[in-house]
Every structure is written in C-alpha cells, then in structure tokens.
Amino acid sequence: MQPAPVEVVNASGRSRYVLTCEHASNWIPPEYDRLGLPETELSRHIAWDIGAAWMARRLSERLDAPLVLAGASRLLIDLNRPPGSPGSIPERSEDTAIPGNADLDPAERIRREDRWFHPFQKAVTGLLDQRKPSDPPTVVLGIHSFTPVYMGHRRPWFAGVLYRHSQDFGSWLVSRLGGESAGIARNQPYQIEDDSDFTVPIHGEARGLDAVLIEVRQDLISTEAAANGWGDRLAAALLG
C-alpha cells in the first residue's frame, strides 16, 4: 500500500504552533526504480531528514500542535524548495548524481508537483487559513535534521534555529535551548533564502507570522528514543 502524499496529524490541535516536516520520508514509488540509485543511498540524508519525523511527532504530541508530514522522498521533489528552483528536483545531491532526475521533461516536473508538492502545501495552507487571529499569534515551525558531515566538512553544532524576519522569536528560541555555549547555532547549518526555501518565506513571512526552521544533528536523533528526547527538549523550550 502506497503512503499518502501528505499526512496531517492533530489537525485540531490548540497550540499556537503549526509544525511542518517536509523531509519526513525516504519512500519512492516502485515505478521510479529508486531514481536509479542503490538502496544504500536512500538511507542517507540525501533522501530524507533522518529522525525528523519521530521528533516532529513527539513535539506535536507535547505541544498539542498540528503537524504536516511529507509522504515521499525529497529526491522526487523537495517540499521546502520553490518549484523550478535548482534544488526542487535535484540532479545531484551533495556528491551523488541522481540519474532519475536528469533531463526531466516539463510534464514530469508538473506531475511531481501535482502529486506531492501541491498537496503538502495545500494542507499547510488549510491549517493556517482556518486559524482565527489569536493572541499570541500562530508560529510556523519547520522540523528538520542535518548531517554531521557535509561534503567533507564537519558540522559541530547540536542544533540550529534558522530564521530571517523572525529575529526576536528566533533569538528567544536559541536562548531557551541553551544558547551557543550549549551547541545551539543561529542560522546554521545554512541560511533562509527565497530561492532555496519555501516554508518560512511563503507560509510564515508572507502571512506576517513568525516562522523558523529547527535543525537537529542526525546522529543525536537516529533512534526513536533519542528523537523523542529532543522532541521533549524542544517542547520544554517552546512552552516556556
């Protein structure tokens, strides 16, 4: 049985937070023949955010927050990249060529957008649209994980809070998690940009809402128990 393109958890949750997990799954439909990759590549970060779905589910439960999770691999189409951008359907991820994404015709690009990208964004939009203005207002949190080593460069942080317009909220969350002395980085391992991000610019900033991405290093959440522990830690910080 094929997974749904998008899963919505706790849609009626009463928290001020709305959670997204754009890279929750490494599933690829059989007709795509693993995009020409060996099975071992699909267990790596290039295919999904390891541990992020466990952590997001725990956080949703602890906060009583709605959560939207992707049902397929980011290699088919990245749900946190603008359609048509270089990272949307990558021909190369890190140092790995993706044969099944090479020289795609426009019809296949549109097919993937219709099958996975638009249903996910519609689910997020629907949750945000049905929320009435409140005090405090809704905050959008994208839940992600990052690889400890990227292109040969070691990433020393335990976690990062990525933000652009939401400087007050982002700085507050970094502090609540213990700050830089506790291994919590500001805008690392990358920065929010219009051509490489979708959730924060579109679902957050365009609505005038605070929006940040939370990135936790994958080796710290590679088991369900460890991911639940980080979910608890994030919940404690966000509820403070």
Helix ranges restricted to H, 8-146: 39-42, 52-63, 106-112, 118-129
pLDDT at 146: 97
The band of 135, judged by pLDDT with boundaries at 50, 70 and 90, is: confident
- Domain region containing 89: 6-238
pLDDT at 219: 97
% of the chain at pLDDT higher than 90: 93
The yes-or-no verdict on residue 119 having pLDDT over 80 is yes
The yes-or-no verdict on residue 47 having pLDDT over 90 is yes
Average pLDDT over residues 62-80: 98
Mean pLDDT, the chain, integer: 96
Lowest-confidence segment of 18-32, 139-153, 172-186, 219-233 by average pLDDT = 139-153
- CA dist 136 and 126 (Å) reads 19
Q: Is the peptide bond before 136 cis (omega within 30 degrees of 0)?
A: yes
| 28 within a domain of the structure (yes/no) | yes
Percent helix, strand and coil across the chain, each to the nearest 5:
40, 20, 45
| 1 within a domain of the structure (yes/no) | no
- CA dist 32 and 52 (Å) reads 24
The yes-or-no verdict on residue 122 having pLDDT over 90 is yes
Number of structural domains found in the chain? 1
| 40 within a domain of the structure (yes/no) | yes
Q: Give yes or no for a contact between 8 and 65, defined as CB atoms under 8 angstroms apart.
A: no
Question: At a CB cut-off of 8 Å and minimum separation 6, what does 112 contact?
Answer: 76, 77, 89
- CA dist 147 and 50 (Å) reads 8
Average pLDDT over residues 68-82: 98
| 144 within a domain of the structure (yes/no) | yes
The band of 30, judged by pLDDT with boundaries at 50, 70 and 90, is: very high
pLDDT at 171: 98
- CA dist 49 and 220 (Å) reads 12
Q: Supply the CATH number for residue 119's domain.
A: 3.40.630.40
Residues 140, 145, 149, 151, Cα dihedral to 10°: -60
DSSP 78: -
Q: Apex CA 58: angle with CA 7 and CA 164, to 5°?
A: 80
pLDDT tens digits along 168-207: 999 999 999 999 999 999 999 999 999 999 999 999 999 9
